[in-house]
Amino acid sequence: MKRIIVFITLLLLAACTSDVAPTLAPTATTEPSATSTSTPVLSATPTLTALPTPTASPSATPTVAAALLPRNYRVLFALDKHLWLTDLDAKNVQRITPDNLIYEGFGFEQTNVSPDGRFVPIYNRAMGTWILSLTDQARFRVSRQGIYPQWASDSQAIVYSETGKIYVRELARWDQPRFIATGWLPTWSPDRQWIAFVTSTPAAISTATVRHVHLIHPDGTGLQAIDSFQVGNRASGSIDLQWSHDGHYLLAWGDKPQAVRLWRVDRAGNRLMVLPAINMALSPTGPFLVLDDHQQLRAIRLTPPLPEYTIQAGTWGTWVFDGNRIASFGANTESKSTLILTDLETKQATNVTLNVPSLYTIKWLRGTNLVLVSSSHEGPEPDDSGDIWIVNVNSPDPPHFIAKGIPIAAIMTK
């Protein structure tokens, strides 16, 4: 789902809404960030620490046989300001974060695990932003500031904005951050050929700002402007960029006014439509776009383009692994919750009742009918007091308790 009120926006807004025109012809350099560590930092002591066997809350009644759970997944979760890994059967629990690097989240952003499941960024007010390995003891400092890194599709590089400058870091050459442009909110195209980003200039109206969307190659060449549009509040207007899974479409969401703008990138960046919406979500593998205005969900098929249509009432949850179905939140009671599974191809919806209360988080396990659900959630005021469950949506069996905490990701290990 779109990154609401972006964490990086809060940190970089002053740099990005100044009266200075954006740099439109940057050249690739190896200018290092003034606040970044140039070499990897390795943990002096083991980072993986065993956690006592977790226990469910008194209301939990896990009965799903552990033998039925796949062995090729581990769950990354947050608890007591640290990150942990566990198997789906709640065994082999290990702490990932060292004692001196507590987890403090990314504000409204979701913690962004690398596509291959090997690395996770972490932010700590005292120590800045780091990349942690989930397979060994390696730790890499990105910045002493709070920045939000975006992963390349091959997990071999990140792009991020720091004080209004955009840098690319290759994992193989970590000590050589590459400055590529001035701007913010950079995000990779799926084929890793382009980075989309945003700059800002004052509008004619003193309270407004003009956002400019650009593309640039990761080596700092090929800069091109895609489009510009005005947002209504210079101080707080936020924006989010997302690519479609095939790289053909680029979407920008702005909150003042609240609207989604869609461009066909491989056709000279022509703007195709402007759609009112509070949130947006692009299918990770399919041709669909879902829009959310907090009253209803609407779906649009991008290829071939079809008129939008309303989905059964519910609050946005997650994409099902096939990319053509979504799982949204239905009604909750003190003891039960409802997931609404909607097939966007057939427009058919199915309600699944779960014996767990007050869901806030859903994580689908790719290639399975299993979902992680929890009443805990990330955010500026994260809540890790809830239980994490694994649920088979095609089975009447009760959910299986995994741990207390906030589920970050279900990671496929092989």
- pLDDT at residue 266 in the model: 67
The fraction of the chain above a pLDDT of 70, given in percent, is 78
Give the span between the Cα atoms of 353 and 332, in whole angstroms: 9
The stretches in the chain having pLDDT less than 70 are 1-67, 204-207, 232-238, 254-258, 266-271, 313
Residue whose pair of structure tokens reads 């869901």 in the numeric block: 359
Instruction: Please name the residue that has the structure tokens 């609404």.
Output: 340
SS3 10: helix
Q: Looking at residue 248, what DSSP letter applies?
A: S
Helix, coil or strand: residue 11: helix
Structure tokens at 348: 């058919």
Instruction: Report the SS3 class of residue 143.
Output: strand
**What's residue 164's pLDDT?**
93
Preceding amide of 407 cis, omega within 30 = no
Which burial class, exposed, middle or buried, applies to 359 when counting CB atoms under 10 A from its CB (0-12, 13-18, 19+)? Answer: buried
126: which residues sit within 8 A by CB, 6+ positions away?
Answer: none
CA distance 233 to 174: 37
Task: Please write the tens of the pLDDT for every residue from 199-232.
Answer: 988 776 666 778 889 999 999 999 999 888 777 6
Q: Are strands 73-79 and 406-412 parallel, antiparallel or unpaired?
A: antiparallel
Q: What would the DSSP string read from start to end of 185-220?
A: EEEE-TTSS-EEEEEEEE-SSTT-EEEEEEEE-TTS
Specify whether the CB–CB gap between 41 and 140 falls below 8 A: yes
**Helix, strand or coil for residue 8?**
helix
What is the 3-state composition of the chain as percent helix, strand, coil, each rounded to the nearest 5?
5, 45, 50
pLDDT for the residue numbered 108 = 72
pLDDT, residue 380, reads 77
The pLDDT assigned to 399 comes to 86
- CB neighbour burial string for 308-323, b if at least 16 within 10 angstroms, e if fewer: eeebbebbbbbbbbeb
Say if residues 371 and 43 touch (Cβ distance below 8 Å): no
pLDDT at residue number 354:
85
pLDDT at 315: 79
Joined together, the tokens standing for residue 380 give 């500026």
Q: What are phi and psi of 250, to 5 degrees?
A: -125, 130
Q: What is the pLDDT of residue 36?
A: 36
The pLDDT, as a whole number, for residue 316 is 81
